[in-house]
């Protein structure tokens, strides 16, 4: 019998005895209900714990005067029981009632305040008020420093909880500092196999992930799981937390099937322990949705995003930023499923949240307008697309310097939409503005479209050939867009199509986007790079709003966006996002990106120099280096061959 089961047996016996010998309103009966509730809580049976805490409260209200000092404790205990079942607002009301009562009876530095402040911090955190949560956690730390020695276990808990809040605020170095202080205290006070070590290791693993030190994160995550599996029953809620952390780390390593294994384990545990609709279920559902997206199992990803969305809409205010993230994720899934009407529905939902929560000239709004406009283009609603693109352009012209690549993107989008609406003078004006900034093949693609729509087939073919020469190779657009319909019988047009088909033999069959946040494999139709780019840009709108500068998730997005721009030969944009990636990350992938960037522009010396730096810093994806077409221009170089041989030898 485990220690928790033994405690449950003893506490249950105590309640049974007191129910027989004491009147129903005796204060000792309230205390026994409270004790038994605590045991159920430690076992993760939160509904049972709440039921008993409510019984304790009912007895205490009959047995004790309203201003009795113990009433504050009963209010706090009941508040925390409501917290565990996800009713955070009710929990906060009860905890504030405790704060009011205890303020009348306790001195300001009494150790009991540490418990009260700590619980208030937890409740505010549950309500996503991070600054209030930090405020009360720092008050708790101040009280503990006055009343307890540095190695007291309560100090360890406070530092661990502070680390959690700093993490949510994006202050990862502060979080790591607090986590390491907590571990230092634990080393002095705990046996090496004590169950509490799992909490310590989980927090450290999470922080290392946030600092992009994933090998260290995996090391501590495996330690946490091992301890929990030895000490806890198989369905204990805290095992779900350990499995979530390990799954997240495996996703960082792109071991998505391992991640899926652990997210499924965590969901099974939460389904057993939590009521339907509990907010914590969204942790498992969200993790599964992301992992299925990585595996390109979009119908499964959709299933779990919708489950998560249903819970969040019931528990969050209509303008909460987290809703915008989930709406955007759903739009991405529908894009990958090619259901563009549903994609637009969720693009507009995400946009509606941001319009309520962001300033009218916020750059993220411009990205959201542009993203929704692209979806309108997919369904042929060019009038709505124009409206949204003009809104995006108005913001960018207000906040960006002349010549910024994002202005070129907006000029392209507005001109394209005017052309599709056959408003050709306006289209010409914006295409000319784009060309002042942008020198990519897309510029000439636009002119090919412009002249084709006026039935000037000679000029249209001339510009289409220039576009392809400069790297524009969206075969799906070239062969399906209605603006080029007048060219399709021409031999020169057919020659262009045949040329692109030979360059990309998989092009005719490729029709799905790559997993979210993953680069598209070499050899696939380069239209998929555009789809992946669109998806990542849409996700970036939400991530930049809700994540602090320097967050690893932003680094991954900057890397992916730059990669896809480079594949599309849009080099100014690729350079901008590679530079953003480099400002956050220190990995060899940075120099892999620059090697690709220069190789695609036939600057062999710079490409080789950067590829050597990448390998020196640990980049060792031999398959990518030897097969990706980005490096074709340097494969005959001796330095490239030497580098490949070095990697083959390990």
- Whether residue 484 is contained in a domain is answered as no
pLDDT of 622 reads: 86
- Whether residue 407 is contained in a domain is answered as no
Instruction: Tell me: pLDDT of 207 over 60.
Output: yes
- Whether residue 248 is contained in a domain is answered as no
Please provide the size of the chain in residues.
Answer: 650
Task: Please tell me the distance from the alpha carbon of residue 574 to that of residue 82, in angstroms, as a whole number.
Answer: 49
pLDDT of 650 reads: 65
Each residue of 293-351: pLDDT tens digit?
A: 888 899 999 999 999 999 988 877 788 777 888 898 899 889 889 899 999 999 999 99
Q: Which two tokens stand for residue 64?
A: 């004790």
Instruction: Tell me: pLDDT of 513 over 50.
Output: no
Instruction: Tell me: pLDDT of 517 over 50.
Output: no
Quick one: pLDDT band at residue 510, thresholds 50, 70, 90? very low
- Whether residue 512 is contained in a domain is answered as no
Other Cβ atoms closer than 10 A to 618? 9
Q: Which residue has the tokens 């077409």?
A: 629
Each residue of 218-264: pLDDT tens digit?
A: 999 999 999 999 988 998 988 999 999 999 899 888 788 999 999 99
pLDDT of 528 reads: 56
- Whether residue 89 is contained in a domain is answered as no
pLDDT of 524 reads: 37
pLDDT of 521 reads: 33
- Whether residue 294 is contained in a domain is answered as no
pLDDT of 2 reads: 54
- For residues 532 and 294, the answer to whether their CB atoms sit within 8 Å is no
Task: Tell me which residue range forms the domain holding 568.
Answer: 543-648
The arithmetic mean of pLDDT across residues 603-632, rounded, is 87
Residue predicted with more confidence, 357 or 395: 395
- Whether residue 555 is contained in a domain is answered as yes
CATH number of residue 581's parent domain: 1.25.40
Task: Please tell me the distance from the alpha carbon of residue 315 to that of residue 23, in angstroms, as a whole number.
Answer: 40
- Whether residue 255 is contained in a domain is answered as no
pLDDT-above-90 percentage for the chain: 35
Give whichever of 116-125, 177-186, 271-280 has the largest mean pLDDT: 177-186
- For residues 58 and 83, the answer to whether their CB atoms sit within 8 Å is no
Q: Which residue has the tokens 């412009």?
A: 450
Quick one: pLDDT band at residue 89, thresholds 50, 70, 90? confident
pLDDT of 388 reads: 96
The arithmetic mean of pLDDT across residues 348-370, rounded, is 88
The arithmetic mean of pLDDT across residues 53-66, rounded, is 85
**Total domains in the fold of the chain:** 1
Each residue of 13-41: pLDDT tens digit?
A: 888 888 888 888 888 888 888 888 888 87
Instruction: Tell me: pLDDT of 81 over 70.
Output: yes
Residue predicted with more confidence, 46 or 414: 414
Residues 6+ apart with CB under 8 A from 17: none
Instruction: Tell me: pLDDT of 135 over 50.
Output: yes
Cα torsion 210, 211, 212, 216 to 10°: value is: -100
Task: Please tell me the distance from the alpha carbon of residue 170 to that of residue 130, in angstroms, as a whole number.
Answer: 11
Quick one: pLDDT band at residue 526, thresholds 50, 70, 90? very low
Q: How many CA atoms lie within 13 A of 474 on its CB side?
A: 23
Q: How many CA atoms lie within 13 A of 52 on its CB side?
A: 21
């Amino acid at each position: 019998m485990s220690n928790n089961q033994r405690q449950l047996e003893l506490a249950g016996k105590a309640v049974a005895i007191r129910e027989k010998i004491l009147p129903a309103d005796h204060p000792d009966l309230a205390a026994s209900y409270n004790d038994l509730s605590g045991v159920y809580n430690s076992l993760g049976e939160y509904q049972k714990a709440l039921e008993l805490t409510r019984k304790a409260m009912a007895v205490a209200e009959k047995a004790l005067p309203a201003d009795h000092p113990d009433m504050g404790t009963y209010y706090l205990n009941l508040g925390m029981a409501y917290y565990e079942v996800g009713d955070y607002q009710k929990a906060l009301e009860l905890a504030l009632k405790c704060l009011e009562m205890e303020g009348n009876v306790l001195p300001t530095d009494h150790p009991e305040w540490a418990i009260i402040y700590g619980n208030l911090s937890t409740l505010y955190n549950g309500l996503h008020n991070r600054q209030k949560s930090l405020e009360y956690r720092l008050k708790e730390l101040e009280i503990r420093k006055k009343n307890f020695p540095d190695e007291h276990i309560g100090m360890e808990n406070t530092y661990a909880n502070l680390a959690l809040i700093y993490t949510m605020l994006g202050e990862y170095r502060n979080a790591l500092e607090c986590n390491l202080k907590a571990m230092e205290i634990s080393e002095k006070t705990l046996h090496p196999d004590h169950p509490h070590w799992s909490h310590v290791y989980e927090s450290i693993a999470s922080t290392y992930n946030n600092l992009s030190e994933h090998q260290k994160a995996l090391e501590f995550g495996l330690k946490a799981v091992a301890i929990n599996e030895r000490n806890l029953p198989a369905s204990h809620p805290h095992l779900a937390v350990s499995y979530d952390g390990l799954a997240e780390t495996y996703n960082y390593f792109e071991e998505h099937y391992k991640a899926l294994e652990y997210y499924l384990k965590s969901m099974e545990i939460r389904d057993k322990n939590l009521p339907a609709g509990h907010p914590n279920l969204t942790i498992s559902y969200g993790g599964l949705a992301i992992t299925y997206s990585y595996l390109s199992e979009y119908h499964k990803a959709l299933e779990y995003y919708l489950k998560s969305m249903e819970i969040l809409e019931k528990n969050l205010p209509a303008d909460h930023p987290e809703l915008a993230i989930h709406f955007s994720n759903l739009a991405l899934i529908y894009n990958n499923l090619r259901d563009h009407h549903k994609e637009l529905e969720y693009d507009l939902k995400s946009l509606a949240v941001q319009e309520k929560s962001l300033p009218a000239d916020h750059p993220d709004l411009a990205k959201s307008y542009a993203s929704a406009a692209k979806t309108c283009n997919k369904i042929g609603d060019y009038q709505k697309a124009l409206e949204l693109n003009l809104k995006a352009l108005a913001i960018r012209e207000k906040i960006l310097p002349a010549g910024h690549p994002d202005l070129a993107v907006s000029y392209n989008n507005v001109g394209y939409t005017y052309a599709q609406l056959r408003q050709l003078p306006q289209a010409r004006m914006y295409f000319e503005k784009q060309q002042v900034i942008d020198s990519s093949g897309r510029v000439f693609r636009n002119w090919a479209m412009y002249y084709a729509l006026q039935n000037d087939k000679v000029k249209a073919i001339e510009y289409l050939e220039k576009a392809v020469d400069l790297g524009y190779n969206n075969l799906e657009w070239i062969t399906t867009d209605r603006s080029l319909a007048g060219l399709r019988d021409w031999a020169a047009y057919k020659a262009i199509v045949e040329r692109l088909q030979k360059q990309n033999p998989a092009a005719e069959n490729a029709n799905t986007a790559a997993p979210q946040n993953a680069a598209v494999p070499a050899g696939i139709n380069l239209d998929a790079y555009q789809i992946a780019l669109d998806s990542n840009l849409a996700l970036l709108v939400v991530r930049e709003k809700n994540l602090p500068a320097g967050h690893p998730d932003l680094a991954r997005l900057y890397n992916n966006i730059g990669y896809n721009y480079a594949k599309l030969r849009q080099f100014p944009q690729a350079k901008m996002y590679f530079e953003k990636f480099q400002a956050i990350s220190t990995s060899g992938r940075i120099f892999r990106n620059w090697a690709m960037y220069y190789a695609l522009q036939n600057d062999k010396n710079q490409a080789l120099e950067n590829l050597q730096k990448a390998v020196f810093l640990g980049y060792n994806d031999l398959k990518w280096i030897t097969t990706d077409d980005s490096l074709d221009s340097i494969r005959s170089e001796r330095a490239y061959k030497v580098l490949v041989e070095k990697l083959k030898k390990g």
